[in-house]
Every structure is written in C-alpha cells, then in structure tokens.
Amino acid sequence: MNKHLIAIFGIFLFASAFQIPGPDNKARKLPVVVDKSVKARIDATLKSFVDSGKVAGVSALIFEKNKEVYQNAFGYADREAKVAMGRNTLVRIYSMTKPITGTALMQLFEKGAFQLDDPLAKYLPEFADMKVYKGVDASGNILLEPARRPITIRDITRHTAGFAVDLNLPGLSELVKEKDAMNPNNTLSEMAKKLASLPLQFQPGEQWAYGPSVDVQAYLVERLSGKPFDTYLQENIFTPLGMTNTRYVLPATDRKRLAVTYRRSDDGVLTRVSDDETSFNIKNYPLKPGGFGLTSTLDDYMKFARMLVNKGKLGKATILKPETVKLMATNHLSEDITQRMWLPSKGQVGFGIDFAVRLRHPASKEENHGIVGEFFWDGAASTLFWVDPVNEVTAVLFLQQMPFYGKIHKSFRDAVYGEYKPM
C-alpha cells in the first residue's frame, strides 16, 4: 500500500470514528457490523466448535453503539454433569484481569499519584539498583551487570520491565523457582520483595516479555491507595459499574455456576481439569494478583468493555477520563523493541497500557481479523474481549479451555467482521 492510500485510509478511519459531516452537513453513519446474517454466521461458527468436540462450551456477547446485538451460548459449562453454558455462567478470566488492574492504576495516575516515566523505585524501593542476568561462567556461577536505567512505571504497564520469565536460562531459572514469587500464599508485598530480589532477564525497555509486571501494578495500587488491592477494585471499579459477579473468591452459593476448565490434548481429546488444579477461586489465598485470578460473567465483563468504548463512562459511573482511555489504548512500544515474545501472533499490533493495540490491517487472511484502533486482550483459558472504537463494538467471548486455543478467536473475529479483504 503506498503512502497516499495509507493517508486516505487513516482519514477514513478518523472520519468514521467521529462521524465527520459530509457535503450535505449530515453526519455519515457507519454501516451496521452485526446484522441478522452476521448473527447467524456467529451462531454457526460457535456451534461448530462444540459440535465437533473442539470445545465443551462457549458463549459470546456483543454490543454495538450501546445496544446488545448478539448473545448466545452453546455446549456445556460442565460436560459431565450436563450443565449448560449460559449467560450467567462464571468463568476464570485469567489475564483479562490485567486491563482491570491497568484501569485501577490509571485512576491513580489521574489523581497525580505518579507519572508513567517515574522510576518504579520512587514508590516501591524494593526495585532500586536492579541487576541484570548475563549468563553463567564456566563453573555455572551466575553473571550479573547493573541495570543501565531504572525500571519505570511505563515499563510495568507494557511488559518491558525485564522481570525473569524464561525458565530455560541456566542459573536464573533455578533462582526463579526458589523464590516462587507468585505462590498464592504470598501477599502482594511478599511477592514484590521476592521478585525484586531476582536479577532481571534483560535490560529495562529492551524487550517485550509477558510476565508479572501487572502483579507489580497491583502492589503499586495498594501502596499508593493505602487499600488492599481487591478492596480498591471493589470500591472503585466493580461497585460503580455494577459488576456484582466479578471477584477473586467465590462464595459457596455461586460455585455451581463456575464453569469447568478442560484441557485439550494434541489429538483433540478434552479432559476435565481437576478441582485441585483450579482451586484458586475457591480458597481465600493471601495473593490477590493483578495479572490473573478474577472470575466474571459475560454481562459483568461487558460493562467494563462498554465503559472503555464510552471513553471511561457507563451510565452514571465515571471510571476514567477520555484522555486516559486514549492513552491506555495508544501503542507504547517503540519499533526498536524487536524482541516481543509471542505478541506478533496476535496480529499487526503494538501494546498500550495492559492492552494489545491494533496498528494495521491484517497482512493476510491467516492473521486475526480486527479494526485499526481496536484494543483487546485475552486469557489463559481462551477467553477474549475487544473494544472497537471505530464501529463502537465491544465483544466478549467465554470458554474454559487450556492450553490457549487461539483458533476459536480467529474464527469468532472472522464471523463478526466477515471475510478478509486485502487493503
């Protein structure tokens, strides 16, 4: 695509997003995304995954221009007990906790509690004078060098802090296992101290590596607000938005609504994950992480997504300022950061504040479909949400399957937006 076409496409997106008036001074209305035929296509797509045995159960909810335009569920939340997947099913959202944590942190940013480029150690002194892993010597002793610059708060919002996540590095991997920073019996304070005692995997700002950065954000929220992290979320996000089904620990009365997690083998067989492996939301562990751990329903998470598409507001609740939502949904990754773990698998994206941000149209039909300007994230059990501010579309897709099953995300996106068309 040449520069002139790119410029024209950009102007079109801007005009579409803000409904710039045409020659007749009437606002040009965007075409409807989810019409009757699209609803049928989504139904057929999701049902096919259940009918073929690729997933046990799946549900989805879509709003367009503040109106519900699609909701349905197929298959089972508990296949063995024949409990249907439904609108009120609770699921473990895993990393879809992260954007909620980022929202909490940015509420404090709005109050002037910090600047994004402040050193993290200004508020969490545990993270001062960090050392960086260089490998091991001939005797197997770990080699370290000083960090060339401090970790900043921006680094922990975009996964460039350098926290150790690679468990295949000699010497460092053993230290990570020994410290066990993310053990659920640690408090956030204990987690942070253990994490800060470890060498960084790389120099701050030089790579994108997914890891415990958002858990550090949660601890920062605690320190800046003076409140336990889960209490802060309840008071400042969940209660104002009416998210009555989003929490870390489920009361006994709601546990029957919690979907079973299934593990898919290489040959496609689904096996029920044991309750012992998924007990985090049943027991009240000390750790209330920022990077995972919440359970939610379609409607609850949709309230959060709709707040974002409405530039920080939903109903009478104001959660963020419009300029803060824009900042969060803006790419903060320099092109110089070329090592990006598996982020490129998400498509033509950068990364903002706890969201992937779509920068370009898909380069091929094999890539995930999406609209330039969209911001989104997903979870380890294959959940997904996105915010499309151009078309004012918000979508939430729930299932409970491991390992992460990206194929259903692509099919769901294709069902919503239609066949890929080269730009």
Please report, for the chain, the start and end positions of each structural domain, with discontinuous segments joined by +: 1-27, 31-105+228-417, 114-225
pLDDT digit string (tens) for the chain, length 423 residues: 444 444 434 434 434 443 434 444 444 567 899 999 999 999 999 999 999 999 999 999 999 999 999 999 999 999 999 999 999 999 999 999 999 999 999 999 999 999 999 999 999 999 999 999 999 999 999 999 999 999 999 999 999 999 998 889 999 999 999 999 999 999 999 999 999 999 999 999 999 999 999 999 999 999 999 999 999 999 999 999 999 999 999 999 999 999 999 999 999 999 999 988 889 999 999 999 999 999 999 999 999 999 999 999 999 999 999 999 999 999 999 999 999 999 999 999 999 999 999 999 999 999 999 999 999 999 999 999 999 999 999 999 999 999 999 999 999 999 999 988 887
Beta-bridge mates of residue 200: 132
Handedness of CA 217, 223, 224, 229 (dihedral sign): positive
Q: Is the peptide bond before 403 cis (omega within 30 degrees of 0)?
A: yes
Residue 166 is given by DSSP the state: -
The two three-digit tokens of residue 284, written as one number: 């009240």
How close are the terminal C-alpha atoms of the chain, in Å? 7
Residue 398 is given by DSSP the state: E
Beta-bridge mates of residue 350: 357
The two three-digit tokens of residue 175, written as one number: 């230290």
Say which residues have a Cβ less than 8 Å from residue 188's Cβ, sequence separation at least 6.
215, 218, 219, 222, 229, 287, 288, 289
Helices (H) and strands (E) in the chain, counts: 12, 17
The answer to whether 172 touches 144, Cβ cutoff 8 Å, is no
31-105+228-417, CATH topology level: Beta-lactamase (3.40.710)
Residue 297: its H or E element: none
